[in-house]
Chain A
């Protein structure tokens, strides 16, 4: 009986998906296809997908958003400049400990309630207090406690930092600290769920550029433009009246859809399709190397035989980088191999990653392997996850072939994604390929999050006192030159230890109708539809 009743309720909930007036013309609608699903409307919920993050920036506003810069002629987000979003302006105190935001007075939530400092306070408190994803992220910008957030007046808001932190502002521009309509949210909160996690997961209470019109997880999400939103670049609402995001699991089908003009934009096509579409020249293909990402071959530095530095270097000298890059990515990306470092020192320290001086040299590889005590090689397994099979499979085949030449016998293991994450977390994989992304791609952020400590993201299980020390020091180093000097030492040390072999930064291939303009590569590797317009 209860099953039936529940079923009835659910059916009623789902019944109202009919699109009302289709007055908008096709030109004012943007149809986006993607392979993945949006699984929550609140980006803070553990388990949120990237597509859910993408959506949240359309339905919610933050205090700030990242600026943009051109990198090799392509627009990408800029970690160092900010655009006000709900904030009209902000000031940082000279000691760097206090940030004061002036809020827009005309900003309203979707239900018409004005946005106030109270809402900001509630939202940021939630991000650092509740059991949400924001907590872990914001502490990388020294934002850890509600005490740091103060309402000065209805439209003034103050953030206090224990130490000047270069990433504090940047952290306020990521997806977690979006501003909720606190009155609405609080009305949905319960004693067990004071932060209305459950309600916000399936409802929005934002002030963003788009309003959710229909949401079918794993199928379609339709967004309607919020006509009152004016936080965009030209102080006017977003260009498209309607955004349709559809989940199309088969990549080849997505390519067909875009090519036929049935879809306007896709960013997760296979490299081969993107290359093909670019060659055909009918569509606009914007390929941006993901400059905040790395694809690498990683060793478990604690697990024999990869605890031997010579073994790691031998493998680095044996990999057929060019072939791998061509076969896996069709050359679509920025290589991180084949550099020449003048004196064995990293040429720069201001950024990470930088191209590494590795190249294929089998003689050297064999020599190193012998030095490591494995003149006849050894056997190991190389793992990658099913989700990345498209690029990882050819890469692994080449790797296996190349390592066989220096006597290392490799078994290739293709693991379902969940299994791979578990094994990585338990540090049980000796040798594998993965990709990492940093939302806030500063040099120290990479080192701190991916090469230190017993955390999941320390793929190589690197445990090096110097890297730890220098990375922590760099975090709070205000002086750019000193920061770069630390970075140079870190980069050099990192290469010497060779905990992983960085391979490349794959391109994000945004394939879109020629009429679509304004695409910017964003930190969360999603499309910010507010940037887009049609010619």
Chain B
């Protein structure tokens, strides 16, 4: 069968994908239909567990051994490839449909030069000599704008940066001029600036070569900027499909509405993100089928759990700013934390933090932004006294706390005053403690509380304040969803009523909707307890919402610091400007 001119390039009809797991069959994709026209860029947006990647892998039939297409049809160029043999598929792969993956470095063979790998991709479909393969690989590297392509040809993936690896991946994917490119979270894990250049490259190449692209992403901003059409997926289904502009300005489906609201924009405030989360008893949004009981989500729970009367549109844009100014500590408030000329050197002369000074007043929130490797995480650990500084002074409440080595800081009376919430909620909970013990642990250690009613009450209280239903306290980390784990981490950090809370990318590993409620939770806790926050993040929008003042770091040093609003409105340094420009906003112009 040959393709008729106006038939879509790829058409998916009622696709079902099931996985056999130890709990029986789990349907990850439940009747998805969409199509992509030749040359079109389609965005597939959804949170983790929405089935967006599974759909992509089902199209290319690269599912794990345990997954299979149980129902539906996939047509490519008019041809039904649902039941294609592996031989047929191999002819399609690379030549007609290519994929680009998340984590570009892992997607490349670590012990083969990139030149060879690109040549492999070509030679899988064309019989050419090794020399020709090399020449073609060089051309492709030039096409993806890699600097020094001749040199890179013989480089191994580990010698390239993440962005360069993704360019190589793109080169491989387009090597045999496929008609369709499926990009699965192609920029996740890359720094914002790199993210932008890679996406720009992809957009340009697909346009130039007339290739269709399916962009799979969790990032609404990304989809809105680069796609002509966007499908929103939730729980294995497409809930809404529209032009980006109309989708983001006027979402129709409740889930889409919530998602749009939860995505921070240049102007959104904490309160905008997820109004229902303001009620502390709300169980976290848990769209992941593995994380919550299937019964609860099966009846489209997200809508149900929304408190009546709360609507997204009615959120006034001005109120958070009032709140923001209200929470701003008075000028006379004493300094809680003073960091003076902090330096952290590692072996072999690596300087992670170079002469950094900043202050935080009691109850104030300071944002620390920067790309990976800027030293922001090191600072959070230095301030938390988990590691020792090489030079410099940290004053807490006027007391120099750097004198007691980190090794012994657990004995300091100030230990309970400085607490921290970590980036990865899974990684930050001891797999062998249940939620109760996780929260009770600092109480036992730092406040010497003994097991008993008082401890139980205190733990329940903390859990409740963190929005964790007490019914979950008996559960172990692997039985909790990402959002719930984050709440346990927060409950633990506030258990001893610290005065300074360090938040090290507290929401980086969370879906946007979960991020929204967590951010709101943190903001509320802060106001209730008059907590000072050191908020470390790479997400500029989040920092702008959460912090009065912001410090921008690059390569271990402070580039710029100041009032958040002022800084974001008019950055003084080039670096800050670049960072800000790279931020993608919903409803921005679509690149095409």
A touches B (Cβ under 8 A): no
